[in-house]
Amino acid sequence: MNIDALLTSKDPDELRALALKLLADLEQQTQRNQTQTCYIQQLEEALKNARQWRFGRKSEAFQGEQRGLFDEDIAADAADIEQQLATLLPEPKTDKPAVPTRRPLPPELPRQDIHLAPASDSCPDCGHALRFIRDEISERLEYVPARFIVHRHIRPQFSCEHCDTVVSAPLPAQLIEKGQPGPGLLAQVVSAKCLDHLPLYRQQVIYQRSGVDIPRSTLAGWFGAVGAALKPLAERLHHDLLQHPVLQADETTLSILDPGKGKTQRGYLWAYVTTHSAEQAIVLYDCQPGRSGQYARDILDGWRGTLVVDGYAGYQALFDSGQALDAGCWAHARRKFFELFTINKSPVAKLALDSIRELYQLERKIKQRPADKKRQWRQRYAKPRLEVFHQWLVLQQPQAAPNSALRKALEYILKRWPALLRYLDDGRVPIDNNRCENVIRPVALGRKNWMFAGSLRAGQRMAAILSLLETAKLNGHDPYIWLRDVLTRLPTWPNNRISELLPYAENSFS
């Protein structure tokens, strides 16, 4: 088409064709500009994400308690400087007595009294006898390194003068027949690995410093024996978990060694936990070689109820079959907006965060209320706010650039909206899945230390032990003391009373 000729033409059809062509060209150019603008925004967001990941704070709180990597060194330097200043500067004059700001030492710690008497019972100024007024007590915290002791079981033997029968007291039953470790040492090895994330080779070095050389292979054998002994308790724990109508679930990666290939493969540790309001505080871990939803269906076989998850598709079969109701996690929805706000101070993300914060403020007011009262409160106060919030989200979605972080955050929350509203209709359902994320977080820390499970069987044994120890923690027990008591009683404990040893049993140990 000759544009110059058309510009001088007076033919209406030709002028109309020119206008249409110019409009088409303009529309194409506008689309190209929008595509390029979206691509530039995605690159900028990716760059900001990378910078935030490398240099920024990781906390989700606006004013978090994130500390630097070397804060311990900084605190030590500050204390050293303060000590030097105290010796160089004169004491400040004050009319008011100094108010102690340091926290008192825990009262449950054992005290060892050290009496310090004056050098003389006579007054150093006038020589007269001193009269006792009171004891001035100051406390200092001291550390006594862990030590090994040997229990010598001395059994006097007696013989019958009539028939030469020899009689002696029986040895106490022990977990490892004819083994040397006592229940306290076994509990220490297991809790050090599972709770303190100390691999067995590091434990071996620590014990060597105390004068006892225990080969790593021996420690591994002890760990396996404890896992086998605790298996009935873990199975009972699983049974009791399935009696609760509301559960929370999450999963994280765990490398598993393939003994045949000498390489690790990506496995998963699944976590299931009862809610804060449940009668029993239970957490169950399950180690599996993959993330297929079939593993969740196997663990929850025979259970029906409400499952709080973050939206992973592996649980969808449970929801589609009607076995479980899908309850969403508001913390997960909030996290996407928080990351966006942290990177570029998005005003849309800020408004979304403010709306979600209101929901949590309402939850704090009813934290201790029964389930029926929670439901009434949520229906009265949270539901109207969520209706307004939903209308606002629907208006914001088409305005966000395609494939942008904001668009993805809006799409996630709108896609999960029915599940996110589930907590309104059932006071037993929590607003988020933070409880499950908290019980799975120690696994991520341990993963950095022991790095992988030696086999799928070893991973499942670790999962069973972790289930019991973390359940003990949820029920307010010292997990080491609980485990030591259980390992002491297990060798002679009847199988039909195994549930009495669980951390949430009425007569459980403390």
CB within 8 A of 9, min separation 6: which ones? 15
Q: What is the pLDDT of residue 144?
A: 81
pLDDT of residue 414 exceeding 70, the answer is yes
What DSSP line would sit under 56-90, residue for residue?
S---SSTT-----TTHHHHHHHHHHHHHHHHHHSP
Q: What is the pLDDT of residue 96?
A: 62
Top mean pLDDT of 66-75, 278-287, 453-462 is at: 278-287
Q: How far apart are CA 368 and CA 2, in angstroms?
A: 80
Query: Quick one: which H or E segment has residue 251?
Result: strand 246-258
Full strand arrangement of the beta sheet holding 324-327: 283-288, 263-274, 246-258, 305-308, 324-327
pLDDT of residue 331 exceeding 50, the answer is yes
Would you tell me how many other CB atoms lie within 10 Å of the CB of residue 218?
16
Contact predicate 17/380, CB 8 Å:
no
Contact predicate 226/175, CB 8 Å:
yes
Q: How far apart are CA 260 and CA 242, in angstroms?
A: 36
Choose the weakest-confidence range: 65-74, 99-108, 213-222, 380-389: 65-74
Q: What is the pLDDT of residue 30?
A: 80
Q: What is the pLDDT of residue 259?
A: 65
- 129 vs 14 pLDDT, higher one: 129
pLDDT of residue 389 exceeding 70, the answer is yes
Q: What is the pLDDT of residues 285-325, one digit of tens each?
A: 998 888 888 889 999 999 999 999 988 888 999 999 999 99
Q: Of 489, 469, 464, 465, whose CA–CA distance to 480 is shortest? A: 469
Partners of residue 75 on adjacent β-strands: none
- Give φ, ψ of 357 to 5 degrees: -60, -35
- 101 vs 221 pLDDT, higher one: 221
Q: What is the pLDDT of residue 90?
A: 54
Partners of residue 287 on adjacent β-strands: 269
Query: Phi-psi category of 204—alpha, beta or left, where left has phi over 0 and alpha has psi -120 to 50?
Result: alpha
- Averaged pLDDT of the chain: 83
- 11 vs 172 pLDDT, higher one: 172
Percent of the chain's residues with pLDDT above 90: 44
- Give φ, ψ of 278 to 5 degrees: -70, 155
Q: What is the pLDDT of residues 66-99, one digit of tens each?
A: 334 344 444 555 555 455 555 555 555 556 665 6
Contact predicate 324/304, CB 8 Å:
yes
| Pairing assessment for the beta strands 305-308 and 246-258 based on DSSP bridges | parallel
Q: How far apart are CA 91 and CA 80, in angstroms?
A: 18
Q: What is the pLDDT of residue 328?
A: 94
What DSSP line would sit under 316-354, residue for residue?
HHHHHTTSEEEE--HHHHHHHHHHHHHHH--HHHHHHHH
Alpha carbon of 368 to those of 301, 362, 506: distances in Å? 32, 12, 22
pLDDT of residue 416 exceeding 80, the answer is yes
